[in-house]
């Protein structure tokens, strides 16, 4: 069993989903060998809520009786550990006789209180990502600071010599963490997939394994080797906008926004390269002949669409909600086909357990997607789906998508058949539809009002 999770990955930036300007040949190949879901949406967002559902098979939305996350960014509701009484996927796989391996550079994954590492016999933490206080900050070379344009999370623009916008402490920490990079193999994304490949090489041929790979890239900062961004925007000479200020995008010039999009696209292509390296090694070892491979992400990223940038809670448009989801069966079942089922993060655990022939220890909220590989419909037909982030909710059926606050206020409504890019808000003219869509949110919330986070 191989599970690949990449952070902050937009579905519309992958060739297999229709993108015609970003190079993702390895993801495209994986899609060609897989059943590809075209309506996949995370069960909850952002990073930690999505991973709770991945590792537990349980819904984390709606967020009830939870404390607000504290730290160096605005509060994130739902940013809590997997409850101690919820068995994890890795625990159940381990009990079923599988060697369980986690390879990740996501610093949130390895925080002891979060429980994401529970059940993994082998933990490979690739240190150095954003938010990881790994190396002393004074190891950062100040000469690199002028190469980047950076903003703080509160929206203040901090100016240093050269008139660059910098968040000195956060950027210095990241640069210190990665001060020893000399070649692309030293980048964190490459380290993650190279380490995962080494885990494959050391696995005994007669020992079944569950390998979970969690790559923080293409999460910001987008600092892949320059030639990747230059594929999409050659000749740029100003400081690089490697990380967005979450919120409105109007603080950037059109030129800076174009470069930011190129930086993200370049990061996607770098991630694709190293996914390809890993899959190539798995194929060389003959492991793809009897391994199930699932690939997905936790959410996307706004890059100026709808006037939004980053991952603000209100921006639950396709740029944020639409994620890739592939299932590659070793026998090639439904390879190259697409399905518009609302597949989601909490379906991963029951699907992997089903393929392994392991009965879940408790009832799971997610559904087993293995029947889809036989051309059947899963047990839950899912005529609609709900999700949420902080104090915003999202709900969609195959005709409409609605976004609103937890109490139903500030609703926007889109006819996604006539307006798939969700540019024309029709909420004011359709109050009955808005009311119906919000009733679906309350239905999934058990019929109770959602909590107020004011």
Distance CA 105, CA 124 (A): 8
Maximum distance among all alpha carbons in the chain? 62
pLDDT at 225: 97
Q: Pairing mode, if any, of strands 35-37 and 338-339? A: parallel
Alpha-carbon Rg for the chain in angstroms? 21
Buried-state track 234-262, b at ≥16 Cβ within 10 A, e below 16? eebeebbbbbbbbbbbeebeeebbbbbbb
What is the pLDDT, as a whole number, of residue 67? 59
* pLDDT digit string, tens, across residues 357-411: 999 999 999 999 999 999 999 999 999 999 999 999 999 999 999 999 999 999 9
- Look at residue 154 and tell me whether its pLDDT is greater than 60: no
Residue with the bigger pLDDT between 172 and 24: it is: 24
DSSP letters for 401-427:
EEEEETTS-S-EEEETTT-TT--S--T
Residue 111, pLDDT score: 85
- Name the token pair of 106: 């996501």
Q: Which domains does the chain have, with CATH numbers?
A: 2-380 (3.40.720.10), 391-453 (no CATH)
Of 22, 16, 20, which Cα lies nearest the Cα of 218? 22
The dihedral built from the CA positions of residue 61, 102, 214 and 97, taken in this order, carries a sign that is negative
Residue 116 in this model has a pLDDT that exceeds 80: yes
Q: Is 125 helix (H, G, I), strand (E, B) or coil?
A: strand
In this prediction, residue 173 has a pLDDT band, given cuts at 50, 70 and 90, of confident
Q: Are 90 and 212 in contact (CB under 8 A)?
A: yes
**Cα–Cα distance list, 276 to 40, 53, 84, 86, 281 (Å):** 22, 26, 36, 34, 9
Could you read off the pLDDT of 200-221 as tens digits, one per residue? 998 888 899 999 999 999 999 9
Cα angle 393, 406, 391 (rounded to 5 degrees) comes to 75
pLDDT mean across residues, the chain = 91
Is residue 251 a contact partner of residue 141, using CB atoms and an 8 Å limit? no
pLDDT tens digits along 28-82 = 999 999 999 999 999 999 999 999 999 999 999 988 766 555 443 445 678 888 9
Averaged pLDDT, 308-332: 97
Phi, psi of 389 (to 5 degrees): -150, 125
Determine the average pLDDT of the residues in 4-26: 98
- Residue 217 contacts residue 104 (beta carbons within 8 Å): no
Write out the two tokens for 425.
């808000």
pLDDT tens-digit readout, 227-254: 999 999 999 999 899 988 889 999 899 9
Segment 404-433 mean pLDDT: 97
Whether the per-residue pLDDT at 332 is higher than 50: the answer is yes
Single pTM value for the model: 0.94
Cα angle: 314, vertex 104, 49; to 5 degrees:
30
Question: What is the side-by-side strand order in the sheet with 302-303?
Answer: 247-248, 308-310, 302-303
**159 has pLDDT over 80:** no
pLDDT at 113: 83
Q: Provide DSSP, 140-167.
A: S-GGGGGGEE---TTS---B-GGG-B--
Does residue 149 carry a pLDDT above 80? no
């Amino acid at each position: 069993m191989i599970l690949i999770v990449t952070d902050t990955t937009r579905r519309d930036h992958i060739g297999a989903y229709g993108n015609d300007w970003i190079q993702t040949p390895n993801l495209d190949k994986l899609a060609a060998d897989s059943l590809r879901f075209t309506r996949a949406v995370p069960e909850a967002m952002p990073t930690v809520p999505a991973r709770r559902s991945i590792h537990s098979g349980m819904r984390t939305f709606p967020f009830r009786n939870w404390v607000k996350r504290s730290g160096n960014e605005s509060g994130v509701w739902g940013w809590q550990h997997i409850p101690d009484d919820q068995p994890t996927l890795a625990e159940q796989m381990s009990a079923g006789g599988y060697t369980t391996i986690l390879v990740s550079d996501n610093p949130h994954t390895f925080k002891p209180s979060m429980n994401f590492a529970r059940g993994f016999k082998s933990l490979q933490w690739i240190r150095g990502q954003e938010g990881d206080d790994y190396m002393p900050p004074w190891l950062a070379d100040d000469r690199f600071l002028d190469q980047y344009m950076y903003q703080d999370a509160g929206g203040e623009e901090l100016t240093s010599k050269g008139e660059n916008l910098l968040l000195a402490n956060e950027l210095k920490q990241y640069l210190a963490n990665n001060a020893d990079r000399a070649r692309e193999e030293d980048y964190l994304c490459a380290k993650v997939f190279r380490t995962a490949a080494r885990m494959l090489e050391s696995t005994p041929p007669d020992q079944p394994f569950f390998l979970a790979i969690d790559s923080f890239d293409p999460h910001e900062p987008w600092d892949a080797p320059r030639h990747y961004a230059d594929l999409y925007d050659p000749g740029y000479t100003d400081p690089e906008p490697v990380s967005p200020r979450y919120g409105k995008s109007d603080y950037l010039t059109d030129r800076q926004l174009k470069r930011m999009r190129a930086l993200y696209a370049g990061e996607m292509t770098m991630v694709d390269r190293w996914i390809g390296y890993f899959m190539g090694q798995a194929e060389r070892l003959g492991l793809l002949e009897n391994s199930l491979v699932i690939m997905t992400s936790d959410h996307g990223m706004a890059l100026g669409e709808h006037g939004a940038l980053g991952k603000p809670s209100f921006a639950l448009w396709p740029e944020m909600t639409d994620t890739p989801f592939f299932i590659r069966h070793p026998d090639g079942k439904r390879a190259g086909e697409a399905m518009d089922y609302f597949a989601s993060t909490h379906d991963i655990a029951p699907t992997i357990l089903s393929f392994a022939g392991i009965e879940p220890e408790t009832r799971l909220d997610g559904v087993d997607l293995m029947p889809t590989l036989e051309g059947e419909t899963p047990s839950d037909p899912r005529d609609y789906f709900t999700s949420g982030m902080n104090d915003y909710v999202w709900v969609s059926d195959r005709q409409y998508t609605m976004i609103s606050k937890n109490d139903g206020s500030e609703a926007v409504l889109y006819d996604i058949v006539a307006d798939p890019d969700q540019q024309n808000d029709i909420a004011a003219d359709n109050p009955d539809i808005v009311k119906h869509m919000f009733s679906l949110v309350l239905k999934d919330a058990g019929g109770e009002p959602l909590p107020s986070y004011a």
